Copies of this chain bind each other. A is one copy, B any other.
Amino acid sequence: MNLLESWHFFSYDLGSLNVDEYLECDVKPVRLAILGLGTVGGGALKLLKENAAEIKRRTGREIEITHVGTRRPRPDLDLPASVKQSSDLMDIVRQPDVDVVVEVMGGIHPAYEVIQEAIKHGKQVVTANKALLAEYGNELFKLADDHHVQIAYEAAVAGGIPIIKVMREGLAANKIDWLAGIINGTGNFILTEMREKGRAFADVLKEAQELGYAEADPTFDVEGIDAAHKLTLLASIAFGIPLQFDKVFTEGISKITAQDVKYAEDLGFRIKHLGIARRAETGIELRVHPTLIPEDQLIANVNGVKNAVLVQANAVGPTLYYGAGAGAGPTASAVVADVVDIVRDISYTEDGAGTIPQLAFEALTDLPILPREEMTTGYYIRINAEDQTGVLADVTTILSRAGISIDAIMQQPRLKDLIPIVILTDPVKESKMDEALQQIQALPVIHGEIVRIRLESLDN
């Protein structure tokens, strides 16, 4: 037993001051309040206990949970008697025996109000709440700056992958060109099953719900809202721009058919639901949509519920970060990594607010976010045409007149009296594609609605 341990062993309370505090300020534990005891909160508690020795070896300090915020007491968690359980969250975040508030309840309210109160009381904050930060982050980060505390949010994006740290610090020498991420595990599970087993969207969604991957209301996942929240955060720290969730163009995967998944594969592509943030000449593109990507790209081979983020930066080139995007263990890994950072910051910086700007940049710029019509992407187009001479000529002439280059064209075997024609195009401004497709749609030989899925080569 070393001296540090023996001190702790014999420590006892002297009113508000304990012996550790009295003897040596460095051995004073950092005190946490954990708000929310769901999957993530439970996972964080378990991890802090299980890895306590390793974490103490890393930080040199004890981490002590002094409060948990929970609607009803949870005797099943077997917490030490010293941990105070309460449903009054506002009261918890005002307590003097709390250094760090870990908000893992989710939802906008009351998380927003509780975090504000915590900041005003000088607490460091850790949160996994992507919706809250994407929608109210600008206000919260400003409040935190004003009160010289930090809001750490590694768990808000891509679960256990330390992508926030990578972007804010690891790639700090770079100007980021673009990033593309599989940042919703449910959506990736569905698309993977559709491709590997030729199954239909609705069928796989039902299974995902039964497996607990998808919520009863799957809109957040499959319509891309969850991914748009995460993309909002990633874009802000990539380019140093304010959080602008309302400007993300978002398209879900619910209209993707097994047929298009198959055709894409025949052409050497996979369909992934990507969040893409790109620095274009006239502004920033923020978009979440199904995307054809070449099958030999590493990120095309990220399957099941796994997440990955591919970042293109001007010095390092492309780098990719892969891992579990959800679940108790991986999310707790990110939450507790933030706690470890804060423990180190409390030990070595004056205010514990750390050394990294909250949104990666000391000064944010107000680069314009491009409207969809101004974005540039390649396209997969599928049309169903009558089997008549001249159809291909008509279609390709319209594309050519709109200045759209065709990269590949594939006529599929007749299906229900119609010929499916698939066209891959080079990157083109969306407004041009809108116009061309309107004209093609108006051709009398074209039946049903044209299918358009964006395509990215991800190679520069």
A interface with B by C-beta (< 8 Å): 2, 43, 47, 50-51, 54-55, 57-60, 154, 159-162, 165-166, 169-175, 240, 298, 301-302, 313-324, 329-330, 332-337, 339-341, 344-345, 347-350, 354-357, 360-363, 365
* Chain B residues closer than 8 Å to A316, beta-carbon distance: 159-161, 323-324, 329-330, 333-334
Q: Are A315 and B51 in contact (CB under 8 A)?
A: yes
In the complex the two chains form, what is the Cα distance from A162 to B315 in whole Å? 13
* Chain B residues closer than 8 Å to A323, beta-carbon distance: 316-320
- Contact partner of A315 among B160, B240, B301, CB < 8 A? B160
- Contact partner of A330 among B2, B161, B317, B335, CB < 8 A? B317
Q: Are A58 and B172 in contact (CB under 8 A)?
A: yes
* Chain B residues closer than 8 Å to A160, beta-carbon distance: 315-317, 319
Nearest-Cβ distance from residue A325 to partner chain B, whole angstroms: 11
Nearest-Cβ distance from residue A154 to partner chain B, whole angstroms: 8
In the complex the two chains form, what is the Cα distance from A322 to B339 in whole Å? 26
Nearest-Cβ distance from residue A63 to partner chain B, whole angstroms: 10
* Minimal Cβ-Cβ distance residue in B for A341: B169
A-B pairs with beta carbons under 8 Å apart, 24 shown: A2-B363, A47-B315, A54-B174, A55-B173, A57-B362, A57-B365, A58-B360, A60-B357, A159-B316, A160-B316, A161-B319, A166-B170, A173-B332, A173-B336, A173-B339, A173-B340, A298-B322, A313-B333, A314-B329, A316-B323, A316-B324, A320-B321, A349-B349, A355-B355
Q: Are B315 and A336 in contact (CB under 8 A)?
A: yes
* Chain B residues closer than 8 Å to A341, beta-carbon distance: 169, 172, 355
Given contact pairs A166-B166, A315-B329, A321 touches B324 in the complex (Cβ within 8 A): no
* Chain B residues closer than 8 Å to A43, beta-carbon distance: 315
* Chain B residues closer than 8 Å to A357, beta-carbon distance: 58, 60
Given contact pairs A322-B320, A354-B348, A54 touches B169 in the complex (Cβ within 8 A): no
* Minimal Cβ-Cβ distance residue in B for A365: B57
In the complex the two chains form, what is the Cα distance from A316 to B323 in whole Å? 8
- The main secondary structure of chain A at its interface with chain B is mixed
* Chain B residues closer than 8 Å to A334, beta-carbon distance: 173, 316
* Chain B residues closer than 8 Å to A320, beta-carbon distance: 320-323
In the complex the two chains form, what is the Cα distance from A57 to B240 in whole Å? 8
In the complex the two chains form, what is the Cα distance from A170 to B162 in whole Å? 5
Q: Are B175 and A165 in contact (CB under 8 A)?
A: no
* Minimal Cβ-Cβ distance residue in B for A46: B315
Nearest-Cβ distance from residue A195 to partner chain B, whole angstroms: 14
Given contact pairs A58-B357, A319-B161, A336-B315, A51 touches B301 in the complex (Cβ within 8 A): no
In the complex the two chains form, what is the Cα distance from A340 to B321 in whole Å? 21
* Chain B residues closer than 8 Å to A361, beta-carbon distance: 57-58
* Chain B residues closer than 8 Å to A50, beta-carbon distance: 314-315
- Contact partner of A319 among B315, B321, B345, CB < 8 A? B321
- Contact partner of A175 among B54, B59, B313, CB < 8 A? B54
In the complex the two chains form, what is the Cα distance from A2 to B55 in whole Å? 43
Of residues A315, A318, A333, which shows the largest number of chain B Cβ atoms within 10 Å of its Cβ?
Answer: A315
5 closest A-B pairs by CB: A162-B170, A173-B336, A319-B323, A160-B316, A60-B362
* Minimal Cβ-Cβ distance residue in B for A61: B362
Q: Are A317 and B322 in contact (CB under 8 A)?
A: no
Q: Are A60 and B363 in contact (CB under 8 A)?
A: yes
In the complex the two chains form, what is the Cα distance from A329 to B350 in whole Å? 35
Nearest-Cβ distance from residue A39 to partner chain B, whole angstroms: 13
Nearest-Cβ distance from residue A108 to partner chain B, whole angstroms: 26
Nearest-Cβ distance from residue A185 to partner chain B, whole angstroms: 13
